[in-house]
Amino acid sequence: MPPVNEQDPPQGELLLRLRGISKTFGAVTALSDIELDVHAGEVVALVGDNGAGKSTLVKILAGVHQPTTGTIEFGGRQVTVDNPRKALELGIATVFQDLALCENLDVVANLFLGHELSPLRLDEVQMEVRAWKLLQELAARIPSVREPVASLSGGQRQTVAIARSLLLDPKVIMLDEPTAALGVAQTAEVLNLIERVRARGHGVILISHNMEDVRAVADRIVVLRLGRNAGVFGGEASHEELVTAITGARENAVSRRRDRGIEATGGEQP
Ligand SMILES: Nc1ncnc2c1ncn2[C@@H]1O[C@H](COP(=O)(O)OP(=O)(O)OP(=O)(O)O)[C@@H](O)[C@H]1O
Ligand SMILES: [Mg+2]
């Protein structure tokens, strides 16, 4: 069996604690009895096959869906996340896969989109200064904050979307497949950015299908299978261990390669 719960104890305070979270859509059970903890300054990767329930869990935390059963504790007290505004007020920000950026607007306008009203009511100059400061802090490679988003690369767009989600200084930030559409260099840039977000003390929930990305950046890896918890691993988990937990099968192409003495892709075989 792959070792479960072998991770080092995380450093920061416990921000988010989910227990017994279930979600049904009519006859479909998307999640059953899910547990998830997120601490300050850690990256928790959420992995699992198509339909495992990752997006449903993210939507519950983002206030899009309500859990059918279970409890969510945030900052030590039980909360309900009735709607997306409530999630933001609590300090849970989400970067959805489609990013929801406006192509024709520049970086500053995109960063402040929807935040033009208080508490972030700022004039153009203030907004530009604040945009630069935030992007500089994130060491983001954006040529000009007055470029329209349409002229940015995929990695730069992801950076803008992540920076935008940080404007309200959330405790937890959820990233849904942030590297899915990116090339090698841009992926590395976004992974670096995730590390800087962690260094600022945010708890990060990273959803990804890419095991290499996950192993590169995650402090803990939470596997979902068919809507249930299927193991928690440290960032050093091998590719094979993760594939086994994700598919639920001991016998798979990765283990067969290992048994034939061929090193699994990115695996840490002796
Ligand atoms: N609004 C909905 N109505 C009915 N069923 C839903 C709804 N949303 C999700 N489901 C079902 O819940 C299950 C989990 O779906 P979910 O989208 O959370 O999976 P996922 O892990 O995000 O998959 P993927 O990797 O493909 O994005 C699936 O069986 C899906 O069909
Ligand atoms: Mg999904």
Probe target for ligand 1 pocket from 56, 177, 222, with the most ligand atoms within 8 Å of CB: 56
- Atom 26 in ligand 1: which residue has the minimum CA distance? 50
The string of pLDDT tens digits covering residues 211-230 is: 989 999 999 999 999 999 99
The string of pLDDT tens digits covering residues 185-203 is: 888 888 999 999 999 999 9
Q: Using a 6 Å cutoff on CB, does residue 59 contact ligand 1? A: no
The CATH homologous superfamily for domain 14-234 is: P-loop containing nucleotide triphosphate hydrolases (3.40.50.300)
**Could you tell me the strand order of the sheet in which 77-79 lies?**
28-39, 14-25, 69-74, 77-79
pLDDT for res 266: 44
Mean pLDDT to the nearest integer, 164-169: 86
Ion ligand 2: residues, CB within 5 A, are 55
Please tell me the pTM assigned to this model: 0.85
Q: Are the C-beta atoms of 79 and 157 separated by less than 8 Å?
A: no
Q: Are the C-beta atoms of 42 and 237 separated by less than 8 Å?
A: no
* Ligand 2 centroid from CA 134, angstroms: 29
Which of residues 142 and 241 earns the better pLDDT score?
A: 241
- Atom 16 in ligand 1: which residue has the minimum CA distance? 53
Which residues, in sequence order, are CB contacts of 135 under 8 Å at separation 6+? 107, 142, 145, 159, 163
How high does pLDDT run on average in the chain?
Answer: 85
Q: Please state at what angle helix 124-137 crosses helix 154-166, rounded to 10 degrees.
A: 110
The string of pLDDT tens digits covering residues 91-133 is: 999 998 777 788 888 888 888 887 654 555 667 777 788 888 8
CA distance 268 to 115: 46
pLDDT for res 6: 46
Q: Starting from the CA of residue 26, give the closest ligand.
A: 1
Provide the residue count of the chain: 270
Where do the CATH 3.40.50.300 domains begin and end in the chain? 14-234
Q: Which of 111, 114, 151, 102 is nearest to 134 (CA)?
A: 111
